[in-house]
């Protein structure tokens, strides 16, 4: 983990600092971090006492039928990494990697077979390529999707958990 990054689950999700961080989230896009989303536990990252990033996700992914190479996981549950955001002033310092690593640890502890992420496809190609590079660096690969299964018709990346 990057030096000086403190990760924890915020108790007070409406704190002004969190609101400030969320204000940096893309215009027109509503991050689902907040009180109405108890099903998406959030982890926040703090550096020098300031919130600089967050991740939301859960451990109840079961849509293996959409992933031809992973249908053997039917019956197991996976983890779904829903959102990840690092303040632009704090990027390329390992904060995103620390948040993802923390989520993977939680996923393993929850007995999930794999972490699946749907990288946001709403930006330019350059930004999409950058986030794909980020997830590749965290050990994720692009997942093959079954075109006949109606489930999130964009692209997904995944990383099997190593239960040792």
Ligand X SMILES: CC(C)(COP(=O)(O)OP(=O)(O)OC[C@H]1O[C@@H](n2cnc3c(N)ncnc32)[C@H](O)[C@@H]1OP(=O)(O)O)[C@@H](O)C(=O)NCCC(=O)NCCS
Which residues make up the interface to ligand X (CB under 6 A)? 83-86, 91-97, 119-120, 130-131, 133-134, 137
Q: Considering the complex, what minimum distance in angstroms separates the CB of residue 14 from ligand X?
A: 21
Question: DSSP per residue over 11-80, as a string?
Answer: S-TT-HHHHHHHHTSPTT-----STT-TTS-EEEEEETTEEEEEEEEEEEE--GGG-GGGGGGTTS-EEE
Give the nearer residue to ligand X in terms of CB position, either 73 or 93: 93
Give the nearer residue to ligand X in terms of CB position, either 51 or 84: 84
Q: Considering the complex, what minimum distance in angstroms separates the CB of residue 130 from ligand X?
A: 3
Q: Considering the complex, what minimum distance in angstroms separates the CB of residue 80 from ligand X?
A: 12
CA dist 93 and 82 (Å) reads: 21
Give the nearer residue to ligand X in terms of CB position, either 52 or 67: 52
Residue nearest to ligand X (CB): 96
Stated length of the chain: 164
Give the nearer residue to ligand X in terms of CB position, either 23 or 133: 133
């Amino acid at each position: 983990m990057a030096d000086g990054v403190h990760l924890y689950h915020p108790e007070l999700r409406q704190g002004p600092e969190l609101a400030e961080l969320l204000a940096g989230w893309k215009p027109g896009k509503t991050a689902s971090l907040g009180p109405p989303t108890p099903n998406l536990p959030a982890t926040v990252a703090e550096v020098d006492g300031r919130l600089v990033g967050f991740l939301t996700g859960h451990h109840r992914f079961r849509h293996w039928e959409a992933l031809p190479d992973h249908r053997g996981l039917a019956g197991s549950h996976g983890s779904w990494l829903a959102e990840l955001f690092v303040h632009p002033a704090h990027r390329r310092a390992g904060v995103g990697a620390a948040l993802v690593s923390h989520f993977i640890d939680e996923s393993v502890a929850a007995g999930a077979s794999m972490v699946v992420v749907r990288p946001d496809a709403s930006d330019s190609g350059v930004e999409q390529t950058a986030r794909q590079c980020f997830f590749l660096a965290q050990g994720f690969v692009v997942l093959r999707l079954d075109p006949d299964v109606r489930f999130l018709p964009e692209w997904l990346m995944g990383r099997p958990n190593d239960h040792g």
